[in-house]
Structure 1
Amino acid sequence: MKGMMFKNNIEPYYFLNPSAYDTAWLAMIPQEDHDQSNQPMFKNCLEWVLNNQNHVGFWGECDANGKPTIECLPATLACMVALKKWNVGSSLIEKGLEFVHANAEMFLKDMNGRQCPRWFAIVFPGIVEFAQTNGLENLFPETVRENVSYIFRCQREELVGKNHCPPLLSYLEALPPSYDIDEEVIINNLSDDGSLFQSPSATSQAFMATGNQECLAYLMSLAQRCPNGVPPTYPMDEDILKLCMVNQVIRLGLAEQFFNEIEEILGHVYRNYLEQETWVRPTNLVALAAQLYKDSLAFRLLRLHGYNISPMSFCWFLCEEEIREEIEMNYEYFSSILLNIYRASDLMFSGEYVLEEAKSFSRNLLEKYIFLRDGDQTSPILSKFHKVIEHELNIPWIARLDHLEHRMWIEETEANAPWRGKTSFFRISHLYNNELLQLAKLNYEFRQSIYRKELEELKGWSKDWELSDMGFGREKTSYCYFAVAASTTLPCDSYIRMLVAKSAILITVADDFYDMKGSLSELEDLTDAVRRWDSRGLSSHSKIIFDALNNLVTETATKYLKHEGTDITSSLQDLWYETFLSWLIEAKWSRMKIRPSIDDYIKTGMTSVATHTLVLPASCFVKPSLPIEKLRPKQYETVTKLLMVIARLLNDMQSYQKEKEEGKVNSVLAFLIENPEAEIEDSIAYVREILDKKKKELLEHVLMDGFTDLPKPSKDLHLSCLKVFQMFFNSTNRFDSNTEVLHDIKKAIYIPLEVGTLKPLQDLPLHFAEPKKKNAKTLASFKWFLKQNSRTSFTAHQVSRPRVGKGYGIIPIAPKLALGLL
């Protein structure tokens, strides 16, 4: 995959799915020479049409389940016209007609005024009329002609106006003769590159109508760059294609495998931004869409990877009233760009008010889009895109766990398109997506197998130390492990996952013991035992908790001593004692009816939530590791303190009602005590304001250099811990629920992926090479690979011994499908 996607000599347009519709229009152009006008100018486009009909009979895109979408109707008609024009592929035309007859009713039955997309209302009638004038009669059965007639009655628009994007003139090839467009109008609207709104199909018609040589130069360049079918828009900023590849790899959960490639591309994009001397306003709405898509995606990816980039790199549109109005008028066309803007605004630091404005602007229009498209089933791709938007709006980014996000992206990959083209979505080629999805699927399921094994091991540990059957409180072994494993792809180290999960289990059990079970004298004895680190005098639950804690600390310190040569036992003991002492203080407040000030409460509560007890010991085992002095309470970095405060406030926001009934105090209730004239809504608003501010500060400390001495993996652990707490306490107290998180746990660890109809590798035209070194290990690995990627046995002609490389080779019949296992 690295060789296919990221080598310097790879043609970026190689990754765009060809547009059957636009390729067909290039295939219709005759040679300029009068003596050869009975031959196509772009023979490779005609050959593409001849060779790329789906076995069902259509041309064009299909959904993740291999089923045709509404986009296939105009594409299929255009391809049939191209074949008819050159009197070739009669059997393909017949098969195409059979497909149209069999499926037109299904596609067109729901085409009422609300559900018919604008592009379809323009393109479909035009291509139907064009097909009929070129000898393709009886396209539709009688039962659907009324629906077709309705679509023909679409409202007229101005050729180039401000009310629609893209402008009607960009559909030149589909406009009926009644528009009677003057050549001068066409030529006056050509871009500097000779295209008509960067549309290959419209530019093809512009050339056939005018013979303009600038149009021809554009088309020649297009056919040369994209010999295997043309994209729906050309040219494209090549940085967009590279950013799309990076975004796809990250969202599929493969970032760690492509770390160097991602850094190289983002470094290149960042340098381009730095070298950009002045901002050039896009000349039309199509160019505006591309620029805004690129800038918002680049901002999000660059900021996530620590680059110092200004929000104005994409928020420039907010300063242009005319651009804002154009986006608002054409919000449906801009829907995926608006989603990208909304995602970019997630990474907001303190004082970045322009990002708040961008979030509000994009959210309002996305909600409007959802209302417009609610219940729209005319396109499976749009339906999935609708779900993605709802997911983004309903669950904050900071409350979503990476592992489950990867799952959603793998399963909903059809919905994750950069933006709407004329008749379809732009997206990275399915040819490569199929293989990348195979890799992502194997990677996800490989992680699941590791997580299942580790969770069983953890359950055994909890049972052995009697923590899972204390007879009181919450048994959260699965919750704790799920939160650690699913929160991020990092840490990849099994020991770190298990250390954090064991610590979380101990914290939950001990916290419940201090809250509900232990007498005050038992709690004082246990706290003193932790201070002395000596279990003498302890019994029952106190002894169980101390012994499990002692085992965990001893194991952790021993492992660190072995690898780093330093004994951190006393630092770990001090860290845990600080946490136990905070629980004792809160227990005394509760039982003695003491009402601390909000400042005193926060000082103790930020410790009792114990996030630092989770992330700091784990940070000792990342690479590079945490400096051991950062384990000491007075040496905590600001980012650690921010995490402690945020986690406490998140917990308080969802538990104040329960704690009020139990006679306890938390930040929401403490504010009311100090401000008796305030209402509960005032207190919640006060705490939420602090939370929002602190989260922005923490995000800046994690993503940017210069705020902390902590190594990046440790900062990532802090961010993962924040996401876990936000997930558990986003809108309810999910941690205390016995059911709310169970389905997520099953999806993360147990339930197989649902990925539609990914082709098994034996369905691809590949030759499998046996390993040259036939030792037991290589043969076993090769057989395992075949088993994992085959549903049927390989026949003799599928296996060969090509002379290539070392180890295993998978040698393609078609170069585009090159894939190697080394």
Structure 2
Amino acid sequence: MLLSGQGSISLSWHGKLWGVSFYDHGKSRASRNQSMKGCISDVQSLMDRESSLCRMTDSIEKIKQQLKYVHMTASPYDTAWVAMVPHPSSHQDPCFDHCLNWILQNQHENGSWENYNFGPSLLKDQLSSTLACVLALKKWSCGEEHIKKGVRFLVSNIGSIFDEQLTSPIGFNIIFPGMIKLAIEVGLKLPLGDTAVGEIFSLQKLELQSCWLERDEQIISDMSTSAMAFRLLRMNGYDISSDLLMKFEEASSFHDSMQGYLRDMRPVIEIYKASQTKLFLNEDVLNKINSWSSILLKEEISTKPISTKPISQEVKFALEFPFYANLDRLEHKRSIEQFNFGKIRILKTSHIPCSANEDVLKLAIGDFNNCQSIYRVELKDLNSWVKQCKLDQLQFARQKLTYCYLSGAATLFSPELSEARISWSKSGILTTVVDDFFDVGGSIEELESLVALFDKRDEKCRKEFYSEQVQIIYMAIHGYINELATKAFPLHNRDIKDHLVKIWLSLLRSMMTESRWQRNKSIPTMEEYMANGAVSFALGPIILPALYFVGPKITEEIIKHEEYDHMFRLVSTCGRLLNDVRGFGREGKEGKLNSVSLRILSSGNSLSIEEAEKDVKKSIEDIRTELLELVLKEGTTVPKPCKELFWKMYKILHLFYMNTDGFSSPKEMVSAVNAVIHDSLNV
């Protein structure tokens, strides 16, 4: 029985445990019933607490397991950028095709890609994600309907990017306009109108300029920071006035600083680099800064022996290779070799800036070595092409294959720019042969025959060649033009053969004019010489065809635009003047006139050689200023990657003609060839 014997004792014990007595005989039955109900309620509460505790324990364990394997929702924005990465062995295919498939499978009905449906407050994030996904699909030419729907969503909501009440992803005003610019460059049709596009680009400029224009104390008070900010903003197309560097226009700004007291030359190097980025002829502030900073740097290396310390090497490099004569790949090599991933920095105490530095260095080394292996294969193929075309059999011609390839590989260095590199190199080889043919290799009859072949473009005319030399040259150029036209057609959806022929014909005619001047001992005016010399310098067949292989679509409107022709004239004129300064002595002995000798003649021989060369160098500097302004100017007809190609050629010309006629010299550029193509990294 429950109420007698052991059962009674047991219940009594539990009653004491719970703080109640089940069988208090001194109380009435009603009182005992009330006590029992209270006890049952307490038991239920305890059981509920125990159940809740179990659930909490389970939740804690579940959270622990989840924290071990963190799961994040798919980000359309990040997925899109990963989807744009090309495959290492085939740049025509995506490296992560599953990311591309995710984009194709996860577009919303309204045409957007978004993480969550949190309403209009995250509209800017939706726009960024959608544009990134559309760019990825455009890059790999897939999902045409997805692109159309995405563009409709973008255009219908584009006004939201100006709404300051909406939540903005970090850096939105900088990144989104940059993505719009990329969309335009890759040929994505966004029906926004020039005014809307201009307003979008203005967001980016205002964001980046705000700190500078507001004279942020952290920027303008420090020479290195100010100089670097000025140079980076200006070289990326921002309208930054050099007046904001006015506080550094005197050398005392360095001598009176802590860096000056410590003789720390890093700020001087930075301000010297900034002083070279002139966009206008009357920037006196930059002229003054350039004057005192260059003097200090020269004193630094003249009063002390050049050591192996990085700062000494930086000073030497900055003076020897100004930014307009420094090829990208040579600078990359130097940066990798001087990179110290274990470098200790001393602030309040010692520390290593970044634990990932060693991995960064390994990645850079791997990339450089991979590119070198590609370059060597391309150089070998080019050598085979020269022999196949029989160009090596032309005894009069300089063999400049490696120099021609160096100029392409050192600037168009990315693996995916292989077609542009090959076009650049083959054109350089052919123009060198043609230049030598008109200078020393061909008779007047042979020269006229070659021009006629391109002038008439008549099949009957092609069946008979005046000489074997003419045949070799013509067939090499003719075959090369056909090759380029075939490769360019799927990229631009049009035949560019007529354009290429016009480029070559223009060159041949200008060389014919110079040949007649020399043979007839005619003296052209300076205007006649420069107008013809800009073309005869032979950059047309090198730069202009390569533009078809750097990314943007080149339309008829672009190649007929004044801006296109003007940049070509500027860089070609600069090349002609550089060549004239370095080749004055040699060409004088050969009975040739150039811009230096014509200046002297036009002055009635009152101008000295030194004065004439000084005038020419001043013209070169002015051209550089004008060309750089055009290259960096936003919202122009010629796409930015194409404009940058003109600037790359300008830098190549300065490197080749820095000390002498490096192109004609058999040894001057050998070290650069080896550094870019053959030599292993010294790390």
Bin of the TM-score, shorter chain as denominator length: 0.5 to 0.7
- Residues of 2 paired with 1:731 and 1:669: CA distance? 19
Q: Is the 8 A contact 2:265 2:311 kept in 1?
A: no
- Whether the aligned pair in 2 keeps the contact of 1:485 and 1:497 (CA below 8 Å) is yes
Q: Cα gap change, 1:471/1:371 in structure 2, threshold over 3 Å: closer, same or farther?
A: closer
Q: CA RMSD in A?
A: 3.0
Cα displacement (A) at 1:740: 1.6
Q: Does 1:443 align with 2:374?
A: no
**Structure 1 SS opposite 2:256:** helix
Q: Is the 8 A contact 1:339 1:389 kept in 2?
A: yes
Q: Is the 8 A contact 2:250 2:292 kept in 1?
A: no
In structure 2, do the counterparts of structure 1 residues 335 and 581 end up closer, same or farther at CA, with 3 Å as the change threshold? same
**1:127-142 residue pairs with structure 2 within 5 A?**
none
Where does residue 303 of structure 1 map in the other structure? 234
Instruction: Evaluate the alpha carbon distance shift between residue 633 and residue 737 of structure 1 in structure 2; reply closer, same or farther with a 3 A threshold.
Output: farther
Provide the residue aligned with 1:211 in structure 2: none
Structure 1 pair 467–629 and aligned structure 2 pair: CA distance change class (3 A): farther
Read off the aligned partner of 1:365 and give its amino acid letter. L
Alignment-derived partner of residue 531 in structure 2: 603
Q: Which residue of 2 aligns with 1:385?
A: 311
Structure 1 partner of 2:80: none
Alignment of 1:327-726 (within 5 A): 327=257, 330=260, 332-351=262-281, 352-374=283-305, 383-414=309-340, 428-429=353-354, 431-489=355-413, 492-533=416-457, 534-535=461-462, 536-631=464-559, 636-675=564-603, 676-706=605-635, 708-726=636-654
Residue 274 of structure 1: aligned partner: 210
Query: In 1, distance between residues paired with 2:617 and 2:213?
Result: 41
CA drift of 1:428 comes to: 4.2
Give the number of the structure whose residues are more often helix, by fraction: 2
Structure 2 alignment gaps of length 5 or more = 1-74, 76-170, 172-202
Question: Per the alignment, do residues 618 and 716 of structure 1 end up closer, same or farther by CA in structure 2, a change over 3 Å counting?
Answer: same
Encode CA deviations 1:429-449: one digit per residue, 9 max, x unaligned. 3x2221111111111111101
Residues in 2 aligned to 1:354 and 1:541: alpha-carbon distance in whole angstroms: 55
Structure 1 CA distance for aligned equivalents of residues 505 and 231 of structure 2: 40
**Alignment check: 8 A CA contact 2:343 2:352 kept:** yes
Q: Give the equivalent residue in structure 2 for 1:811.
A: none
Change (3 A) 1:521 1:731: same
Written as runs of structure 1 = structure 2, the 5 A alignment for 1:229-240 is none
CA distance 1:624–1:576, change in 2 (3 Å):
same
The Cα shift of 1:574 comes to: 1.1
How far apart are 1:422 and its partner, in Å? 8.0
Partner AA of 1:370 in structure 2: I
Could you tell me the percent identity over the aligned residues? 31
Matched residues in 2 for 1:612 and 1:454: separation? 23
Equivalent residue for 2:141? none
| Alignment coverage as a number of residue pairs | 478
1:525 Cα deviation after fit: 1.1
User: TM-score scaled by structure 2?
Assistant: 0.65
Quick one: structure 1 residues 335 and 274, their matched pair in 2 at CA, closer, same or farther if it must change by over 3 Å? same
CA distance, structure 2, for counterparts of residue 428 and residue 374 of structure 1: 30
CA distance in 1, matches of 2:342, 2:436: 43
- For residues 508 and 359 of structure 1, what CA distance do their matches in structure 2 show? 37
Q: Secondary structure of the residue that 1:340 maps to in structure 2? A: helix
Task: Pick the aligned partner of 1:294 from 225, 228, 234.
Answer: 225
Partner Cα separation in structure 2 for residue 491 and residue 349 of structure 1:
32
Tell me the distance in 1 between the aligned counterparts of 2:414 and 2:286: 28
Output one character per residue of 1:35-62: Cα deviation in whole Å (capped at 9) or x when no partner. Answer: xxxxxxxxxxxxxxxxxxxxxxxxxxxx
- After TM superposition, give the deviation of residue 635 of structure 1 in Å: 7.9
Once residues 233 and 413 of structure 2 are traced to their aligned partners in structure 1, the CA distance between those partners, rounded to angstroms, is: 19
Residue 489 and residue 354 in structure 1: after superposition, are their counterparts in 2 closer, same or farther (change >3 A)?
farther
How far is 1:288 from its partner? 7.7
- Indicate if the aligned counterparts of 2:491 and 2:553 stay in contact, CA closer than 8 A: no
- Taking structure 1 as the reference length, what is the TM-score of the superposition? 0.55
Read off the aligned partner of 2:397 and give its amino acid letter: G
Residues 662, 669 of structure 2: 8 Å contact kept? yes
The alpha carbon displacement at 1:555 in A equals 1.1
Which amino acid in 1 is paired with 2:333? R
Cα 1:339–1:332 shift into 2, 3 Å: farther
- 1:537 partner SS: coil
Which letter does structure 1 place at the counterpart of 2:677? Answer: I
- Distance change (3 Å), C-alpha of 1:463 and 1:497: same
Change (3 A) 1:677 1:323: closer
Task: Look up the equivalent residue of 1:311 and give its one-letter code.
Answer: S
User: For the residues of structure 2 that align with 1:423 and 1:618, how far apart are their CA atoms?
Assistant: 52
Q: Which has the larger radius of gyration?
A: 2
Q: State the 1:591 CA deviation.
A: 1.3
SS in 1 for 2:356: helix
Cα offset, 1:571, TM superposition: 1.6
**8 Å CA contact retained: 2:251, 2:292:** no
Asked if the contact 1:571/1:632 (under 8 Å) is kept, the reply is no
Q: Which amino acid aligns with 1:384?
A: P
Cα distance change on mapping 1:320 and 1:345 into 2, 3 Å: closer
Q: 1:331 to 1:350 in 2, by over 3 A?
A: farther
